[in-house]
Chain A
Amino acid sequence: MNLRRPIIVAGLLLWSLLPLIWQLQTSFRTPDALVGGSLTSGWTLENYRTVLQGSPSFWRYMVNSALVGTATTGLTLSLAVPAAYGLRQQAATLKRGLLLLLVAAAVFPYVLLFLALLELARQLGWGNQLLALAIPYSGLSLPLAVLLLQAGIADLPNEIEDAARLEGLNLWQRLHRIVLPLLAPTLSSTAILVFLFSWNEYPIALTWISRSELLTLPTAMARIAGSSIYAVPYGAFAAATVLGSLPLLLLVLLFQRAIVSGLTQGAVKG
């Protein structure tokens, strides 16, 4: 019993980290060392230099992804919070129906939507507009966001809102002064999940963005791979992986608790 846990922890450690550690060491090796050299030689920072001084620089992609992520999170929350709050006021049958539809939308493999969304983007001139990505991204994040937030709102005692109504707070004042402050933990976990989705999204960005200085991180990575199917520059690529993973590592480290509570709440209440 006492031994089991350390063994599991060690196993999980190897399972999760080994592929990442391999990437990390690859990022510091010269091309020669990668195709068979000893561990004592062939260490270099050249890969990072290549990636950061490339044209456009890797920073560009990170900034692009961060911009889209921030815009998506903002837009999603500003739509999802009123919706989740409005859902609470609806009659039970209507509410139940809407919740079921939201669950269906949340599990729907959204890759199926890319073609129609691409047509939309072409018609509205949103192709190659970085921030326009936030619109489909918000739409795709909304089901999960509304589900999480409405679960958080459902946990608030009814009597607190009744008390606020008696004190003369209108709908907006109740949302703003009572519900939002009490919802802060759910809000933060929802925000992080939405941001992660946006940061990692691939098929829509792939079809909407073609100009290289506007690429987001996943599309930029895939382009590196696609441009050289037979000989991916693995060293440089690994350096890019490491750089692109650092913000996520930071987010996961900082907000692990919020992420897990958001995910599990979605599972329990959804």
Chain B
Amino acid sequence: MSSGGLQLENISRRLGARSLLHEISLEVPAGECLALLGPSGCGKTTTLRVVAGLDPVSSGRIWLQGRDITRLDPGRRQVGMVFQSYALYPHLSVEGNLELGLEIRRVTAAERHRRISTILELLQLVELRHRRPAQLSGGQRQRVALARALLRQPDIVLLDEPMSNLDAQLRDNLRPELRRLLCGGRHPVLYVTHDQQEAMGIADRIAVMSNGFIQQLGTARDLYDQPVNRFVAEFLGRPAINLLLPQQGHQLGLRPEHIRSVNTGGLEAKLTGREWLGNQQLLNLETKRGQLKMLTSADWTPPTELRVSWDQGRELWFEEQSGERVK
């Protein structure tokens, strides 16, 4: 196996009769940030916990920086993790939270102090060092959790929905900062989220998961423009892709921004509703091939009866039964 980064080799995890992860294989080189994206229950958090060693695997192997860590105790994996709840020790101060792990690893007091000071400064936590977690805001807690994860100079950083407890505006502000702190270092990063915007904003590549399978792995652009199947096409993009009623075993997928109004040809459509989105508007259309959502400029006043077509070459065809995309 090659050295450096993280490799998952056919990882499966079963719990009784249920299969939580199915033959997951992926590779994250050092410095790259890979997002695991999917709906809840898709196996993304399980993948993270398997890498951390918190959950055992049923089969397959995990390599980290050239070591086989498949059955290594979590405490010996050199893994830094930010939990969804941040999991800060409520009875310890910020400093105490950072110090505990180093103390357990028998790092000398002087070295502990040096490392903690550095990380506190990096994350602008110096003034908060004596506070308890309960006295911190959500964003501050997240930074402490991040500091704790980075402090031990991990071989990989794992983040489990680190933004889900923060409000929307803070999330928008934190995304670039998180990317600056995490990515491009000597370690790979695995980032679990169900929010596609977050995944696109932070990660270099995205793995879309569902039902314990990786559906597709690639850059955000690849996934959006060239989804391998209907699930990926539907999961990415807001407002979601239009799926027309199937014909002869095939189904046409059209993204709302690719639909145009035309004078002749195309489909007859009836306007049934409008949603104003500020700079754009979303039209709800009724056609004989099903409901359509169409994204247009905000200042156009559409007639109640119109004809629509789509940008040639942007349409996506799927097999009706399997959902696979027809190339």
User: Which A residues are closer than 8 A to B by beta carbons?
Assistant: 157, 159-160, 162-170, 173, 177-178, 181-182
Assuming the A-B contacts A181-B91, A182-B90, are A167 and B85 also in contact, with contact meaning beta carbons closer than 8 angstroms in the complex? no
Report the bound CA distance from A173 to B75 in whole Å.
12
Chain B residues positioned under 8 Å from A157 (CB to CB): 85, 87
Q: Assess the A166–B91 pair: CB atoms within 8 A.
A: no
Interchain CB contact under 8 A, A159 and B83: yes
List B residues 78-124 near A (Cβ within 8 Å): 79-81, 83-85, 87-91, 100-101, 104-105
Q: Is the CB of A165 within 8 A of B87?
A: no
A-B contact count (CB 8 A): 62
Within 8 A of A (CB), among B42-68: 49, 52-54
Contacts of B80 in A (CB 8 A): 166
Of the candidates B76, B81, B104, B105, the one whose C-beta lies within 8 Å of that of A163 is B81
Which chain B positions have C-beta within 8 A of A162? 49, 52, 54, 74, 81, 83, 87
CA–CA, A160 to B83, complex, Å? Answer: 9
B22 at the binding interface (Cβ < 8 Å): no
**CB contact between B85 and one of A159, A166, A178, A182 (< 8 Å): that residue:** A159
- B152: CB under 8 A from chain A? yes
Q: Report if A167-B75 is in contact (Cβ < 8 Å); known contacts: A162-B54, A178-B89.
A: yes
Judge whether A182 and B74 touch: CB under 8 Å.
no
**B91 CB contacts on chain A under 8 angstroms:** 181-182
In the assembled complex, how far is the CB of residue B166 from the closest CB belonging to chain A, in whole angstroms?
17
Residues in B neighbouring A168, C-beta threshold 8 A: 75-76, 101, 104-105
CB distance B75 to A165 under 8 Å?
A: yes
Instruction: Kindly state the separation between the CA atoms of A181 and B97 in the bound complex, as whole angstroms.
Output: 13
Does B87 contact A160, Cβ atoms closer than 8 Å? Answer: yes
Complex CA distance for A166 and B154, rounded to whole angstroms: 11
Question: In the docked arrangement, what's the CA distance between A182 and B74, Å?
Answer: 22
How far is it, in angstroms, between the C-alpha of A234 and the C-alpha of B49 when the chains are bound?
69
Most chain B CB neighbours (cut-off 10 Å) among A163, A168, A178, A182: A163
Q: How far is the CA of A156 from the CA of B89 in the complex (A)?
A: 11
23 A-B residue contacts at CB 8 Å?
A157-B87, A159-B83, A162-B54, A162-B74, A162-B81, A163-B88, A163-B148, A164-B89, A165-B74, A165-B75, A166-B54, A166-B75, A166-B77, A167-B100, A167-B101, A167-B104, A167-B105, A167-B152, A169-B101, A178-B89, A181-B91, A182-B90, A182-B91
Residue among A160, A167, A168, A182 facing the most chain B CB atoms (10 A cut-off): A167
Complex: A165 Cα to B52 Cα, angstroms? 10
Closest Cβ neighbor of A177 among chain B residues: B100
Q: Which residues of A contact B104 (CB under 8 A)?
A: 167-169, 173
Q: Given A167-B104, A168-B105, A173-B104, verify A159-B87 contact (CB < 8 Å).
A: yes
Contacts of B89 in A (CB 8 A): 160, 163-164, 178, 182
Residue in chain B with minimal CB distance to A170:
B75
Verify A159–B84 contact, CB threshold 8 A.
Answer: yes
Most chain B beta-carbon neighbours within 10 Å: one of A160, A164, A168, A173: A168
- Bound-complex Cα distance A122 to B182 (A): 69
Task: Knowing that A162-B49, A167-B105, A178-B89 touch, tell me 15 more A-B residue pairs with CB under 8 angstroms.
Answer: A162-B87, A163-B81, A163-B83, A163-B87, A163-B88, A163-B148, A166-B74, A166-B77, A166-B81, A168-B75, A168-B104, A169-B101, A169-B104, A181-B91, A182-B90
